[in-house]
Structure 1
């Protein structure tokens, strides 16, 4: 189970790094839209891409997997903090988490997705100890991600009756 989690995380960080590398114009704009100084755009972009590649590689190589998971966890928590600060300031900059592949505005669904990935990284970092804890965190984050993603897409609206169920009516 830990190996599968390592490979999933490695794939996520590898794809994110490649996509950011190919999105040379979008990444600096995304960094600036989070409110960071313009002079940091390029250096932070290269640092982020390098960090993601090193993390992906470390997750694949057995002796480094724990360090890679801790790196992934640190980066994901940093992203979560940046998202929360942006939302608190009333801003929803484009995420560019996966470069130009999927540049969407950050929001609670982005935070939930990162929470799911952070729970997975925590599971790997502890070498599979306390699986009930990380499974619980992951389940909560995954549920929030799906519900918020559906809500964002307009497929779920407040007061909408769930298909296949009749609302309870008192007679």
Structure 2
């Protein structure tokens, strides 16, 4: 088992500080290893150290991080920015995630949260309603899916 695998195992076992120490050593030895920076960000985030996680997410994303890990890092960075109240930056990252990974519905949901934070309530609600209709197996939701989808972007309209 190499150091990166060991650090991931430590993180999964909840031994975040040990994982961080191992990953920091590895980052010094392999500064261009995107996985090391991503895992370092993840471990900091897991400890509630959001501000410390940001530069690690950014470093990982500036390197050759790809696939599911890239999607996870984009979501992690956007979510971290949102929790820090940096809503404009969060929105940029969630939109980037949607652009790169349009099939990943979690970006729509997290984008809806940041749109709410930005006061864009109608757009946030629309996105959540569409996700609800697209993913629910609940009979009541599926029975009314056409109506819910129709009203999703007309929440403020009054019919007379």
TM-score (norm 2): 0.37
Point out the structure with max Rg over C-alpha: 2
* Higher RCO (CA < 8 A, seq sep 6+): 1
TM-score for the superposition, normalised by structure 1: 0.35
